[in-house]
């Protein structure tokens, strides 16, 4: 599951138009994710959609009536096609069949779904998630219609490629609900990092002892992944260099998987020059076994000593270079956070350090952090890691804009 909470959805209204495709089953999950994150969701179904999924499902998930008839008398003035989009900021058509795309491109207005798209005002964006057989997607008519929609200002998400309901293989699958949810969140996220290239390290490292054993730590990678996801939503081009975690790659980011500090070091050094910002969140092992055994170490004596040698300090090395990007460090301390975090900022020559007490955040869903920069200390309220990621990036973007 890769649906990081969408922080921009509370107070938003989305009209989810479901047209008649097999992928309509994914739209129920999409509605759930949007509602979970605080959006109000009005579902509009075409007649064909009713062959694939029931209105009762959407009504239960959204807590709102479901609409499908242009002449529905439940709307007091009988004008569902106007009223439904008047308090909405987005109409999302998912799945959008070839027929619904053709009808939109032509500006048709003979059912509720098409009419409300035509009747929405400029402040209400249109997002379309195509879903169809690959031949239909590649047909010149569909290509023409999609281009027409794009030039009319619609955002087209997908389609993905893969196995299709008809058994064929190719482009035309509707993207998964999590990815659509992410696209909606990104749509509503202010683009404070537009045009910035951001390199992030995340997670623990694993240092080889022998072919089956490693030295690692309790970092979950959640803070670094939240920063990567939020930076991408804020418009940045994000590269995530990640140690071993069980987390999915955040949408819209490029992930480079590494294991050891040495691998993370080379992955970062090969990329930092192409970045404007480097955020080192990874809990990099300070030491590694001096001579990893090529064979599994057998138990024999009562004690075992492993000689450890220092790992390179990736952040200090990048920040110390003449061509260093804007560098952000993390300081997880067990005590005297202010003292250690400020000392780290000065010794590693970092414009910004994010500090937290180990007991407050390592491995958990929430954290309590303090930002340290030239202007002093800026405590942030205890919050979930995605909320903190947004606040950290907002602070960072203000520093970049100075």
Q: Output 289 or 329, the one with its CB closest to ligand C5P.
A: 329
Sign of CA dihedral 218, 222, 227, 229: positive
Does 329 contact ligand C5P by CB under 6 A? yes
Binding-site member from 280, 337, 341, 352 for ligand C5P (CB under 6 A)? 280
Rounded distance between C-alpha atoms, residue 360 and residue 369, angstroms: 8
Q: Output 128 or 318, the one with its CB closest to ligand C5P.
A: 318
Does 282 contact ligand C5P by CB under 6 A? yes
Rounded distance between C-alpha atoms, residue 200 and residue 256, angstroms: 10
- For 247, what's the count of Cα atoms within 13 Å in the CB-facing half-sphere? 28
Pairing of the two strands 277-280 and 197-202: parallel
Which of the stretches 65-73, 87-95, 275-283, 375-383 binds ligand C5P when contact is defined by CB under 6 A? 275-283
User: What is the closest distance, in whole angstroms, from the C-beta atom of residue 401 to ligand C5P in the complex?
Assistant: 23
Q: Which residues pair with 372 in a beta bridge?
A: 353, 377
Which of the stretches 50-58, 126-134, 181-189, 329-337 binds ligand C5P when contact is defined by CB under 6 A? 329-337
**Where does 174-218 show beta strands of DSSP type E?**
197-202, 207-210, 213-215
- Cα distance from N-terminal residue to C-terminal residue, the chain: 38
Catalytic site residue 166? yes
Q: How many CB atoms lie within 10 A of CB 339?
A: 10
Does 330 contact ligand C5P by CB under 6 A? yes
Does 242 contact ligand C5P by CB under 6 A? no
Binding-site member from 193, 261, 357, 370 for ligand C5P (CB under 6 A)? 261
Considering only the C-alpha atoms of the chain, give the largest distance between any 2 of them, rounded to a whole number of Å: 85
The length of the chain in residues reads: 402
Find the catalytic residue in 117, 166, 185, 275: 166
Does 284 contact ligand C5P by CB under 6 A? yes
Sites for ligand C5P among residues 288-317 (CB under 6 A): 311, 313-315
Q: Output 95 or 243, the one with its CB closest to ligand C5P.
A: 243
Sign of CA dihedral 290, 295, 301, 302: positive
Binding interface with ligand C5P (CB under 6 A): 201, 261, 280-282, 284, 311, 313-315, 329-331, 344
Catalytic center residues: 166
């Amino acid at each position: 599951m890769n649906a990081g909470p969408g922080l921009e959805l509370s107070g938003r209204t989305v009209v989810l138009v479901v047209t008649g495709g097999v992928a309509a089953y994914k739209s129920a999950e999409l509605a759930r994710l949007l509602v979970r994150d605080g959006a109000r969701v009005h579902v509009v179904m075409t007649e064909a959609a009713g062959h694939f999924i029931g209105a009762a499902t959407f009504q239960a998930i959204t807590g709102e009536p479901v609409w499908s008839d242009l002449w529905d008398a439940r709307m007091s003035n009988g004008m569902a096609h106007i009223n439904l989009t008047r308090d909405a900021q987005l109409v999302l058509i998912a799945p959008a069949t070839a027929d619904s795309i053709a009808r939109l491109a032509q500006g048709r207005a003979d059912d509720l779904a098409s009419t409300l798209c035509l009747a929405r005002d400029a402040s209400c964006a249109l997002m379309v998630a195509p879903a169809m057989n690959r031949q239909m997607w590649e047909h010149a008519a569909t290509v023409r219609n999609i281009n027409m929609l794009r030039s009319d200002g619609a955002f087209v998400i997908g389609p993905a490629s893969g196995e299709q309901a008809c058994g064929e293989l190719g482009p035309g699958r509707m993207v998964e609900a999590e990815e659509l949810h992410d696209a909606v969140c990104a749509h509503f996220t202010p683009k404070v990092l537009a045009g910035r290239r951001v390199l992030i390290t995340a997670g623990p490292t694993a240092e080889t002892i022998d072919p089956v054993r490693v030295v690692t730590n309790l970092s979950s990678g959640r803070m670094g992944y939240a920063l990567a996801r939020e930076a991408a939503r804020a418009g940045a081009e994000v590269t995530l260099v990640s140690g071993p975690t069980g987390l999915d790659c955040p949408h819209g980011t490029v992930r480079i998987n590494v294991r050891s500090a040495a691998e993370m070091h080379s992955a970062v050094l090969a990329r930092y020059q192409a970045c404007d910002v480097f955020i080192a969140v990874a809990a990099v092992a300070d030491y590694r076994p001096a001579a990893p055994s090529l064979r599994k170490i057998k138990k024999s004596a009562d004690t075992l000593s492993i000689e450890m040698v220092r790992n390179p300090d990736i952040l200090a090395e990048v920040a110390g270079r003449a061509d260093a990007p804007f560098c952000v460090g993390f300081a997880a301390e067990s005590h005297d956070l202010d003292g250690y975090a400020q000392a780290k900022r000065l010794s590693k020559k970092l414009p910004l350090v994010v500090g937290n007490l180990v007991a407050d955040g390592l491995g958990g869903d929430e954290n309590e952090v303090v930002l340290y920069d030239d202007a002093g200390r800026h405590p942030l309220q205890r919050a979930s890691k995605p909320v903190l990621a947004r606040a950290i990036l907002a602070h960072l973007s203000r520093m970049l804009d100075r």
